[in-house]
Structure 1
Amino acid sequence: MIQKNLILVIDLAISKIKRISPESVDPRVKNYHWLDLVNGMFEAYDRGHYTAVLVDEENNVLEGPGFNIFSLDENGLKTPKIGVLEGITRQTAIRLASELDIPVQEKLIGSEEFINSDEAFATSTAGGIIPITKINGKKINNGKIGKVTSLLKNLYWEKHTDPQWSQSVDELI
């Protein structure tokens, strides 16, 4: 059952914890090394936030525990290109944005640039497209879910019933 009216938003902190370098652990491969992400979550909790996004050595935002991030400004959507898991839901969000003629750049996103986004959202398998309404205590889009984020989120859930985008699982083995 798809819960269409479920509203989930994220208040996150940009962690001071650095994401493990891609030279050490390839982030494109799911692995069980999450110590940096767990430490980032503890830091976020201590600061009163729901979760964290980690940064690289130059303080560019990368990803959070189990989710990718997107930022929106007047030039379109941005999502980190290097040092992140190239998640399926991330790829889906990029395809959906293309369907809506919203430009997407895969590039470095500085921490300050991310904090000053017009809109921001996370993508994950479990949550789909999840609006980010606060970063480091600063409200994004006045603490409201943005128009583009809403469009993408709604389209994402609509595609779950489209046979070209999903496969029904009738029985688990």
Structure 2
Amino acid sequence: MNGERILKVGIFAYLLIWFIGGFWGMAAVHSGLLDARYLGIDFLKLKEYVYYGLSGAIGGVLYELRIFHEFYHRFNRRWAYWYVMRPFLCGGTAIMIILLFKSGIMLMQVPDSLAAKVGLSFLVGYGFGKVIDKIKALTETLFNGKKQADPNINDPVDKTERIEKL
């Protein structure tokens, strides 16, 4: 076996372990297997967030498996890091997005059920790139005060400037 083929097999095995392990982890949490304290952390209080993180990771891994299959013959070893890190990034982002919705910072009506939040977490993981683009736009708007380029937006300052020019 050449090095690239070994890397492909390793990445595929890694993704399968994450995919199956994510569901196993959710089942373990649901069954109460982790209802204890580990390293000073009470997992019973964090149960919901474990669901969100794992479902986000599952969404990210499902996307990776699709991309891996689609571009298998054009595989480039530069993407190995992306394959390794994406489950972690998607899981963490899913948790933070749920917190942003719960806090009211991001406005979207998400039902208060666990299933709805787990589903949203999965979608965040699957659409990670688009979610990150939206977070970038949100932080630009909130913290930079960057004006929007669209002149049709109902901004009182822009409207006044346009009227004065007439």
Same topology, TM > 0.5: no
- Which structure: larger Rg? 2
**TM-score (structure 2 length as normaliser):** 0.29
Higher helix share: 2
Higher strand share: 1
